[in-house]
Amino acid sequence: MTDHNNTPPAGSHDADIDRLFAESGSLSGTISGFRPRDSQTEMAKAVAQAIAEQKSLIAEAGTGTGKTYAYLVPALLWGGKVIVSTGTKNLQDQLYLRDIPTVRKALNAPVSVALLKGRANYVCHFHLERTLANGRLTSRDDVGYLREISRFVKTTSSGDKAELSRVPETATVWNLVTSTRDNCLGTECQYHQDCFVMKARKEAQQADVVVVNHHLFFADVALRDTGVAELLPSANTIIFDEAHQLPETATLFFGETVSTSQVFELCRDVLAEGLSHARDGADWPKVVNAVELAARELRLAFPQDVVRLSLGQIAPSSRFFPALEKLKEEMQGMAEVLESQAERAETIDQCRTRALELLEKLNAWNAPENVEKAVDKVLWVEAYSSSLQLHQTPLSIAPIFSKQREGPPRAWIFTSATLAVKNDFTHYTSQMGLYNEPAHTWPSPFDYARQGLLYVPSNLPQPNAPDYTDAAVDAALPAIEAAGGRTFFLCTTLRAVNRVAERLKKEFEQRGLDFPLLVQGEAGRTELLDRFRASGKAVLVGSQSFWEGVDVRGDALSLVIIDKLPFAPPDDPVLAARIEALEKKGLNGFVHHQLPEAIITLKQGAGRLIRDRSDRGVLMICDPRLINKPYGRRIWQSLPPFSRTRDAEAVKAFFKETRQPTTEVPLVVDLAS
């Protein structure tokens, strides 16, 4: 490994990279199916240069470039202490279990690698034992799952719940057998020596390469609670894969949120600890019930199922403000009871600390001085069916993230398939505060004009028309039939997912079409994708979670339908505040924020279609604004350079030719005509 203070001069690794990525190089010799790609080799050189010079690099790499190997090869050879942060835990596992071992073996690189996740991913010995003793489980499934977890703890070396596939990641029992920042006993815990979280952090400290995810990285920067804080000072190279997700993730963590769910969790623990250690100290059910009732009343201040309102949009006469005061009052009462009993058990004292922290957040949310000073943040409320969240969200993360990047020089690599809008990185760099940093696009090696067709149907109503979703389904059905199923139908809202699924089910039955219909929410994402691949003729209807991070190669997926251009909902309080801030600076909120955001999201959705050199398919975008709005051209010019048509017959011809391969390009009509 290259020493941090002994970095080689820029460009000195170009020859090494040419050799490693060549037809006869180490990668080709040990990785099955590897073939040299100019874009991959050039990106690897740019990453090596950024590492050598301890500078930043923004690297957009089209689908099929092989960006993972392009950054791993220089990182493993010359990166020093490397942190790789990915968009999701699934990608994190893929890097740790597959990609890094493959490259490490090909390079024969003597690097040690560690995987670090948030504490909620590791079984906690203390909370497992307490749950086994209390037996407070609400379902038969949970009883079986708890037995599985109890066995798992005796054999696992990591405690990572991803290793226990027999218990679904979404099972509620996990909340009872993992720790949170609030309820971890730290060094006071009798199991501290065996703690899986501590063990993972220790391994990360000692490893050359540590794989984390964006949530963990930014949670740490905000909370100093995930083990990344100790890693950062010694890191020479930090690589963000799926870097397009960073603005949203960072916004989440650099903000402040307090929720009724946290209040209910605290109440659950107060009742358990009070009855265990100080049964005679208070009427614990009465203390807890008063707080729970106040928290429920706060949620019921908004009768609707889902609400997103800025502080200024909540009517002064609303039930919300008195309900908030009542919750603070009852929380204060509970904190006083806990204070009086805190000496009786460490866990009660811990509950007292949590109660005071929650109370402080509740008091701070709409404190008069906070509201007056809130020029750089938005105060807003978000309500779900059973919980309410109070948010303080920064208008921009650029100044905060720039501050995080101060300190000793190191390389910062930001890479994704979607960072630019028509080769312009301005939107991304201004969001992240990466001003004047080098940014490059390396094109995909795929022949999009031959492999794919962009189809925008004619005669659809405007997307705000009440019958729009039905009209989109009507236009999509002939294409689905021509494709033989094998379709992703991607929607911008869950309501559209439900309507599309309802219509397709009915139409498939009436037309006698034997296409299995898979709908988001009916099963977990991984299970739905496995069923989709195995079927070879399924139609999957999904929203946001299927727009990115999904890889289906080969014949199983040949048609991607997008119902609408993915503009953020106009009622989003954070979006409204950001647009207002831009307009105060004389900028156009739509052009400078909403449009680039929509384009980057659309590029992600479009990227599901062609995943391999042999893939062929149609991208169908139903939204007529792509054609009849002035900004439409900017959008489709940012997409891969597919052949383009508005003719349904051209789509049918394309699929006919896909089944009988030919070099001819199907009938193409310019979108602009």
In-domain check, residue 258? no
Closest CA to 561 of 643, 661, 649, 469: 469
Closest CA to 488 of 380, 609, 657, 589: 609
Question: Hey, CA dihedral for 300, 304, 305, 310, is it positive or negative?
Answer: negative
pLDDT higher than threshold 60 for residue 665: no
Q: pLDDT tens digits for 232-282?
A: 778 999 999 999 999 999 998 888 899 999 999 999 999 999 998 999 989
Contact between 65 and 444 (Cβ < 8 Å): yes
Q: Which pLDDT value is given to residue 216?
A: 87
Question: Looking at the structure, do residues 502 and 599 belong to the same domain, yes or no?
Answer: yes
Cα 236 to Cα 538: distance, rounded to the nearest angstrom: 46
Question: Looking at the structure, do residues 504 and 599 belong to the same domain, yes or no?
Answer: yes
In-domain check, residue 423? yes
Cα 56 to Cα 60: distance, rounded to the nearest angstrom: 13
Contact between 379 and 394 (Cβ < 8 Å): no
Model confidence at 664, in pLDDT bands (50, 70, 90)? Answer: very low
Question: Looking at the structure, do residues 112 and 173 belong to the same domain, yes or no?
Answer: no
Residue 605 is encoded by which pair of tokens? 């959705």
Helix axes 260-277, 284-299, angle to 10 degrees: 170
What distances in angstroms separate CA 613 from CA 446, 450, 501, one per listed residue? 6, 11, 31
Tokens 């019958």 -> residue: 467
Tokens 């946001």 -> residue: 544
pLDDT higher than threshold 90 for residue 10: no
| Stretch (H or E) spanning 430 | helix 426-432
Cα 74 to Cα 76: distance, rounded to the nearest angstrom: 6
Question: Looking at the structure, do residues 302 and 221 belong to the same domain, yes or no?
Answer: no
When pLDDT is averaged across residues 89-103 and rounded to a whole number, the result is 91
Question: Looking at the structure, do residues 286 and 147 belong to the same domain, yes or no?
Answer: no
Q: pLDDT tens digits for 451-472?
A: 999 999 999 999 999 999 999 9
In-domain check, residue 671? no
Cα 123 to Cα 616: distance, rounded to the nearest angstrom: 44
Question: Looking at the structure, do residues 653 and 580 belong to the same domain, yes or no?
Answer: yes
In-domain check, residue 420? yes
Amino acid at the residue 10: A
Range of the domain at 21: 14-117+204-252+397-442
Question: Looking at the structure, do residues 173 and 106 belong to the same domain, yes or no?
Answer: no
Q: Which pLDDT value is given to residue 6?
A: 40
Question: Looking at the structure, do residues 338 and 402 belong to the same domain, yes or no?
Answer: no
Amino acid at the residue 482: A
CATH number for the domain that contains residue 27: 3.40.50.300
Contact between 351 and 251 (Cβ < 8 Å): no
Cα 640 to Cα 454: distance, rounded to the nearest angstrom: 9
Hey, what's the torsion of the CAs at 409, 410, 416, 421, to 10 degrees? 10
Q: CA Rg, the chain, in Å? A: 27
Contact between 641 and 449 (Cβ < 8 Å): yes
Q: Strand, coil or helix: what is 9?
A: coil
Q: Which pLDDT value is given to residue 225?
A: 54
Q: pLDDT tens digits for 567-587?
A: 988 778 999 999 988 999 999
pLDDT higher than threshold 70 for residue 40: yes
pLDDT higher than threshold 60 for residue 1: no
3-state helix, strand, coil in the chain (%, to 5): 50, 15, 35
Name the pTM for this structure.
0.86
Q: Which pLDDT value is given to residue 234?
A: 85
The Cβ of residue 595 has, within 10 Å, a number of other Cβ atoms equal to: 20
Terminal-to-terminal C-alpha distance of the chain? 57
Number of domains in the chain: 4
Lowest mean pLDDT among 135-144, 439-448, 561-570: 135-144
Question: Looking at the structure, do residues 626 and 496 belong to the same domain, yes or no?
Answer: yes
